[in-house]
Structure 1
Amino acid sequence: MIKSLSTLAFTAAAVLALGTGSASAITFKLATDSGAPGSPTAASMEQWAELIEEGTNGEIEVDIFYQNELGSQQEVFDLHVAGDVDLMINWPITAYDRRIGVIYTPYMVFTWEEALEAYKPGGWINGMLDGIYQDVGLKFFGAWPEGFNGVATRGKYALTVEDAGDIKVRVPPMFPQAETLEAMGYQTASIDWSEVFTSIETGVVDGDAANVIYWDYEYFRDTLDYYVRTKQSFVTGMISMNLGSFEGLSEEHQKVVQDAAVKVMEDHFVNGREIDAHYASLAEESGMEYIEPDEETIMGLAKVVREKVWPQMEDQVGSEIMDVVRANASPL
């Protein structure tokens, strides 16, 4: 009987120990501000989560929250900075540090090849962002490239500053989105992503600006008639982690999380261009008129926008950062 009791005690202790080990697993929240289940963003989030869980043998578990599940773009980024959201692939707002707006500097590059040189690990834009993110309380891992953006509209479109004057477009609520589109001749309204469809449907705006073709095809193809790829920005999401959450990990787990993020980034540098071209084709098939302005038109817009917006950028992000931009941006 004594031996039986001892065995039972040992078994109970073992079960308790196993239970304690399972309960001690870290759970991270991974969120995005733009990307429903089934979207390219969602696929990369799911890849990152899977790589983390596999790389830590389940010692870190990742809960995924898609677009609007935790709030608006502003609200989710607030949660990220506060540490209530640990991991993000997002399009960051500039409210915490205007220097983040350097990623929205218009007409820095004109080709995918130039963009990849700038944003890849060791690239000149990549290098600037790490220090900026740390000052906000975030760990920057890399870019999540989507491609060159444009202006999608209903009923009419513009290729020149003069023709854009009677068109009002939605822009994201972050500097210098409105300033850039206004320099291109448009009227603008800063509207959160969750309200864009209603704003177009009710005529508050004539279209959506600043997005790659995927978003305007996926959400507005039955509403908008034209997509003009004006290429004012090479659009990338950002892959990041709350700095406190990152520093709270062991070095081994830090490496797993970071390596997984870099893998997601590298894969999407390959896949992003193909995805962008695919959705341009789908947009045309759906009935949207897809317009690629010629090089002369793009360079004309770029000249006007750089002259008007880059001085404003310097006021916001500082001369040191803009000196780097001027030294490395593609020539006109």
Structure 2
Amino acid sequence: MQKKWLLSLVLVLTLSILAACGSGSSAGGDGGEEVTWKLNHIRPADTRTDKSANEFVTNVLDETEGRVNIEIYDNSQLGDYQLVQESVSTGEIEMQLATLGTNVDPSLQVAIAPYLVTNWEEAKQLYNSEDGMLNNYLSEQLEKQNIKLLAVYPQYFGSVFLAKEALDPKNPNVSKDMKIRVPAMKSFEEFGKGIGFVVTPLPASEMFTSLQTGVVDGVLGGGTELYYNQLSELGEYILPINTHFEAHYLTVNKDKFESLNGEDQEAILNVAKEFETAAFAQAEEEQNKYNELIEEEGVEVIELTDEEVKVFADKVRKDVWPIIESEYGEIFDDVKKELGI
């Protein structure tokens, strides 16, 4: 009798253990085990990007009731964003908030093509995660790398930084008789030439020295925030002609995301949507803030109306786009149709 009782007890305990193991087998599932992910971003601690990332992480933890914990690594602690994107693809690192890496898919460079959009409202329409035509394309291409695009995080519209006064700076049809640094990309080289400058392709790491030594008279390819933080002591003017739309992208390994239960996936998507909506408002305010800050450093911001910016955009779309559109493939034709061009 005692043996039968012991056998029954062992059987009950065994079944209980198996049931417990089965209930926790799905990471992030209903009542399942918690997951901890790594998120790399490329801005220093306490910047707007870092604060937004921390708020995103806090909201995800709250909305998933503690099941999805995300650890932030700021200022590219996990490595160069191109390499980290490859690690997100394999799942070695789960998430990143950064510029899109284009080593695997060069067509992603279309995101920073000159004058796809000229103002914040146009940017929201083309890049938003809900129905933005360009965002849909980026999402589809990233999925081929096993990466899910959660949200776009706008940074700024590009401007031109000048160390001396340009000839008729608001007129893109006049030669400026100035040499400016541009990124080593055909799109920016042709863009700089198309609006009247002599261009010198240089990496970002050489901007300060080339300006300081007079190798170039200005810089194209960044925004006023960058110029304020790195170059303001060397400049005289900012030409805010909205050269291109610069954004970072919040991405996650697709397999890791889909391993979560539906409730947690939906929670993360909702938090990401709020993250993106807030970022658009913040970015516009931030751009205005840096225009004011750089003026306090003695750099004049040359004010342009929307119509004056449009003159630059029209010229670039007419003269430069035909030269560079082959860099992006068929997507550029789709973008032109979307824009009615």
Fold shared, TM-score > 0.5 on shorter chain: yes
CA 1:161/1:98 → structure 2, altered by over 3 Å: closer, same or farther?
farther
CA contact (8 A) 1:51 1:260 kept: yes
What's the offset of the Cα at 1:189?
2.2
CA contact (8 A) 2:153 2:279 kept: yes
Pair member with larger Rg: 2
What's the offset of the Cα at 1:164?
4.3
Partner of 1:241: 252
Specify the code of the residue in structure 1 equivalent to 2:199.
Q
Structural mapping, 1:1-332, within 5 Å: 25-33=34-42, 35-120=43-128, 121-157=130-166, 159=169, 160=172, 162-171=174-183, 176-184=187-195, 185-192=197-204, 196-197=207-208, 200-201=211-212, 205-294=216-305, 297-319=308-330, 321-329=331-339
Specify the code of the residue in structure 2 equivalent to 1:56.
T
What's the offset of the Cα at 1:266?
0.9
Specify the code of the residue in structure 1 equivalent to 2:34.
A
What's the offset of the Cα at 1:228?
0.8
Alignment partners' CA distance in 1, 2:274 and 2:237: 35
Specify the code of the residue in structure 2 equivalent to 1:28.
W
Alignment partners' CA distance in 2, 1:117 and 1:66: 29
State the number of aligned residues: 311
CA contact (8 A) 2:119 2:242 kept: no
Specify the code of the residue in structure 2 equivalent to 1:65.
Y
TM-score (norm 2): 0.79
CA 1:70/1:302 → structure 2, altered by over 3 Å: closer, same or farther?
same
Q: Helix, strand or coil: the match of 1:136?
A: coil
Alignment partners' CA distance in 2, 1:197 and 1:240: 32
Partner of 1:10: none
Alignment partners' CA distance in 2, 1:314 and 1:199: 30
What's the offset of the Cα at 1:123?
2.3
Partner of 1:4: none
What's the offset of the Cα at 1:131?
1.0
Alignment partners' CA distance in 2, 1:196 and 1:330: 36
Structure 1 residue runs of 4+, over 6 Å off?
Answer: none
CA 1:249/1:107 → structure 2, altered by over 3 Å: closer, same or farther?
same
Alignment partners' CA distance in 1, 2:266 and 2:186: 33
Specify the code of the residue in structure 1 equivalent to 2:127.
Y
Q: Percent identity?
A: 25
Per-residue CA deviation, residues 31-66 of structure 1 (Å, 9 max, x unaligned), is 123x11121111111111111222223222212122
Aligned Cα root-mean-square deviation (Å): 3.2
Partner of 1:7: none
CA 1:164/1:95 → structure 2, altered by over 3 Å: closer, same or farther?
farther
Alignment partners' CA distance in 1, 2:77 and 2:206: 15
Q: Helix, strand or coil: the match of 1:327?
A: helix
Q: Helix, strand or coil: the match of 1:227?
A: strand
CA contact (8 A) 1:182 1:188 kept: no
CA 1:200/1:25 → structure 2, altered by over 3 Å: closer, same or farther?
farther
TM-score (norm 1): 0.81
CA 1:177/1:95 → structure 2, altered by over 3 Å: closer, same or farther?
farther
Per-residue CA deviation, residues 177-212 of structure 1 (Å, 9 max, x unaligned), is 3443343334132425x6654554565654432222
Alignment partners' CA distance in 1, 2:176 and 2:87: 37
Unaligned runs of 5+ in 2: 1-16, 22-26, 28-32
CA 1:254/1:296 → structure 2, altered by over 3 Å: closer, same or farther?
closer
What's the offset of the Cα at 1:229?
0.9
